[in-house]
Amino acid sequence: MSAASAPARPRVGLFATCLVDLIRPSVGFAAANLIEQAGCEVVVPPQTCCGQPAFNNGDRATARDLALQAIDAFQGVDYVVAPSGSCAGQLKKHVPELFAGEPDLSRRADAFAAKVFELVTFLVDVRGMTSVQARFDGVVTYHDSCAGLRELGVKAQPRKLLESVQGLTIAEMKDPDVCCGFGGTFAVKYGEISDAIVAKKADNVVAAGAGTLLAGDLGCLMNMAGKLQREGRPVRVRHVAEVLAGMGEEPAIGEPTRGE
Amino acid sequence: MTAHFTSPAFKENAHQALHDPALQRALGNVESGFIAKRRKAADKLPEFEALRDSARDIKNHTLAHLDLYLEAYEAKVTAAGGHVHFAPTAEDASKIVTDICRRVGARTVAKGKSMISEEIELNAHLEAAGVKPIETDLGEYIIQLRGERPSHIVAPVIHLNRDQIESDFRRVHSDLPAERDLHAPESLLAEARGVLRKRFLEADVGITGANFLVAETGTSIIVTNEGNGDLSQTLPRVHIVLASIEKLVPTLEDASQMLRVLARSATGQEISVYTTFSTGPRRAGDVDGPEEYHVVLLDNGRSAMLAGEFREMLRCIRCAACMNHCPVYHAVGGHAYGWVYPGPMGSVLSPSLIGVDKAGHLPNASTFCGRCESVCPVRIPLPKLMRHWREREFERHLSPATVRSGLRLWGFFARRPRLYRLATRTAMGALALLGRRKGRFRSLPLAGGWTATRDFAAPEGSTFQAQWAARKDRA
């Protein structure tokens, strides 16, 4: 469904992504909060994974099963929104490839893909959001995760919303658009190369002089946070949605949870 | 394959490369040099993106009618007095070249830069036949001095630092006075030129590659920045052009469009310093040029690619923009890939030419960041093609057992949302408890590749889906 024909209060299916679901649920709540601020109703259909690990490891059969599972689960919503350029890219760009040449499934896959959006581009490009009501006192630097940047054009939108956060300053790092070395299972399969790439990224992050590193993909964020923390670098790492939703005071990625 | 073929040991190669300080220093030049220059050249040309589309379309059209263009090209070369030899395999191509050298009694051969020569191991074949190959491109010349292989398809010695090259020159050019300054690249070039000039004049045969072959006219085109290609092909009695079949373009007009994207993508130049067209041998009245003109057209697996899902790879014009922009190439350099073609283009092409069973690491050693595709002048979807190789590997059970069993286990749960929610809620709860005090893990079973050098964030607690459901129940 296109934005023009969407109802006044569209129903958005939040695709939390498996990493957010398992590791950092607070990003899911931040995303839900922002989607509601953008005038939408949020539902969370039963979900597991977008299938990208299977797809990128050559296991098309599993990728197809998971794609169909997601297509079925998100049937009744106007939009599917994910706080990840990588997972949204899988659902929007690659799911249709999986059913090319199969007219019925292809039609369903295309209709599904058309309603999939990465969180921040959904807020800005689809819902016309120009600012958020949030405060964050500090300097942040923003890493452009690869799939979001190159498959979905996520670049100006997060910066635009961050500029509206009170007390926040953006200090760009060198090469913000260069890969952090995560690459999904690449980070484990070729750990040594992945580490060499993230080491460069960590240097650029630290040189930017920001106290907080933000990005829109939890995989990349965990990779960069893991490197910065192992090296004892004083940079806190968060998903951009946390700051935009005013949750920037909660423990950052890899920090102990409070109390309990 | 050969002694230089080490693709199956990619991981060990990469390990060594990452611990080689000189190499790491040299690799810094790739990132600092090529990228900014290409960006600047592209930004200066308003129609650059449209030219990329056009370059892609020209190549697609040519590949769709390659048989016709090859025939047309052959007819034109023959009409100009040249000879075209089709070589189905690498061995065939080497044999055709060495036979020509033998027939004309060649002792030395002056060579322009050619990756096809590397692919068919021509130098080893020539030497076995008693013919001495002399590389005349400065980078290739240095490679030959060192007994190495190029680590980059445009800049063969990008893995070396200036001081290393200087000491090679002093070792081999033993008559050099110690006070002679060889610090600037220009002085190295001048020194090589002085030595090579004699070799050009002595050479019986000149061998060059080709950047493009023009069907309309039977012309081969090479671009260089040193002019060595011109000398290699005009001074010796015999000129052999060594090229693969996908170098064809229909017309000179098409070739000129391709040249506009090639130099900008490769080195950020508007056009290379020398662009040389050659069509057949010396004609009556020509002041120079070879007496014999041969073109050896190599297939070596390419016509099989034409019919399959890797066809788009045949658009490649060898500009090296993909490797120049690749974070993995930046980290490990070209030799780690273990065969002639490094970086993203090699990760697609090498499995096609030598088999995915041997080159299987290469298409996997990518983060799929997509930067290669974003700069490719002929818009080859390199990550997609690497993914196709991963699919072939998965089908043939060539992927590592740990990856396969990990995927199978994860797939089992991911296909069963209810079971997944139960299992993950329990598992994440337990992991969160374990990691609560620190908020992260310094080591995790099965994730040693990660946790050897990076912490791994502990889960916050219960899963998002469990927390969301609980919140809805309360509401």
Evaluate whether A213 touches A244 at the Cβ level (below 8 Å): no
Is the pLDDT confidence value at B210 over 50? yes
- Is any Cβ of chain B less than 8 angstroms from the Cβ of A74? no
Structural domain boundaries in chain B = 51-162+198-304, 419-474
Percent of chain B beyond pLDDT 90?
Answer: 82
pLDDT at B2: 52
Cβ B457–A225 below 8 Å, yes or no?
yes
Do residues B242 and B208 touch, judged by C-beta distance below 8 A?
A: yes
Q: What is the pLDDT of residue B1?
A: 44
Domain A130-244 in this protein, CATH class: alpha beta
Q: What is the pLDDT of residues B287-312, one digit of tens each?
A: 889 999 999 999 999 999 999 999 99
Surface of A (198-217) touching B: CB under 8 A: 198
CB contact under 8 A, A16 and B424: no
- The model's pLDDT over B331-367, given as tens digits with 9 standing for 90+, comes to 999 999 999 999 999 999 999 999 999 999 999 999 9
Structure confidence by residue, pLDDT tens digits, A90-110: 999 999 999 999 999 999 999
- Which comes out higher in pLDDT, residue B463 or B447? B463
Percent pLDDT > 70 in chain B is 99
Lowest mean pLDDT among A75-84, B187-196, B208-217, B291-300: B187-196
User: Are A230 and B464 inside 8 Å of each other by CB?
Assistant: no
Choose among A24, A28, A146: nearest Cβ to B369: A146
Say if residue B121's pLDDT is above 90.
yes
pLDDT at B328: 98
Q: Do the Cβ atoms of B390 and A57 come within 8 Å?
A: yes
Q: CB–CB of A183/B365 below 8 Å?
A: no
The pLDDT of residue A166 is above 80: yes
Find the closest chain A residue to B411 by CA distance: A62
* CA–CA separation, A41 and A21 (whole Å): 19
Q: Does the pLDDT of residue B234 top 70, yes or no?
A: yes
Helices (H), B343-416: 343-354, 356-359, 361-364, 371-375, 382-395, 401-414
- Looking at domain A11-125, its CATH class is alpha beta
Would you tell me which residues 355-374 of chain B have a C-beta closer than 8 angstroms to some C-beta of chain A?
A: 364-371, 373-374
pLDDT reported for residue A260: 46
pLDDT tens digit sequence for B48-104: 999 999 999 999 999 999 999 999 999 999 999 999 999 999 999 999 999 999 999
Contact check, Cβ <8 Å, A22/B450: no
Of A110, A86, A85, nearest in space to A96 by CA: A110
pLDDT digits (tens, 9 = 90+) for A138-147: 999 999 999 9
> Measuring CA to CA, which residue among B155, B88, B102 is closest to residue B329?
B155
Residues 6+ apart with CB under 8 A from A115: A1, A74, A77, A78, A79, A80
β-pairing, A79-82 vs A135-142, is unpaired
Q: Is the pLDDT of residue A162 over 90?
A: yes
- Compute the nearest-CA separation of A47 from chain B (Å): 6
Q: Name which of A250, A255, A257 to mutate to probe chain B: the one with the most chain B Cβ atoms within 10 A of its Cβ.
A: A257
DSSP string, A150-215: HHH--SHHHHHHHHTSEEEEE-PPSSTTS--S-TTTHHHHTHHHHHHHHHHHHHHHHHTT-SEEEE
Substitution target from A174, A189, A222 for chain B, most B beta carbons within 10 A: A189
Residue from the list B18, B371, B455 with its beta carbon closest to the beta carbon of A254: B455
For residue A4, pLDDT over 60 is answered with: no
Query: Which residue would you say has higher pLDDT here, A146 or B196?
Result: A146
Quote the pLDDT of residue B417: 94
CA-based nearest residue in chain A for residue B372: A150
CB pair distance less than 8 Å for B439 and A251: yes
Pairing mode of beta strands A135-142, A166-170: parallel
| DSSP reduced 3-state for A5 | coil
**pLDDT exceeds 50 at position A221:** yes
Q: Which helix (H) or strand (E) holds B85?
A: strand B83-87
**pTM of the full structure:** 0.96
Report the distance separating Cα B331 and Cα B23, nearest Å. 10
Cα A173 from chain centroid (whole Å):
20
User: CB contact, 8 Å: A104 with chain B?
Assistant: no
Instruction: Kindly report the average pLDDT of chain B as a whole number.
Output: 94
Contact B450 A66 (CB under 8 A): no
Q: Does domain B51-162+198-304 have CATH number 2.40.30.110?
A: no
Please give the residue of chain A at the shortest CA–CA distance from B399. A57
pLDDT at position A6, please? 58
Mean pLDDT of B445-463: 92
Q: What is the pLDDT of residue A258?
A: 67
Q: Which of residues 169-188 of A touch B (CB under 8 A)?
A: 178-179, 181-188
pLDDT at B439 over 70: yes
CA distance B73 to B280: 12
| ipTM of the complex, rounded to two decimals | 0.96
Cβ-contact B104, B204 below 8 angstroms: yes
| Contacting residues of A for B332, CB less than 8 Å apart | 193, 196
**How large is the average pLDDT for residues B388-404?**
93
Confidence band of A1 (pLDDT split at 50, 70, 90): very low
- Option in B414, B436, B463 nearest A257 (CB): B436
How confident is the model at residue A259, as a pLDDT?
53
CA B368 to chain centre: 17
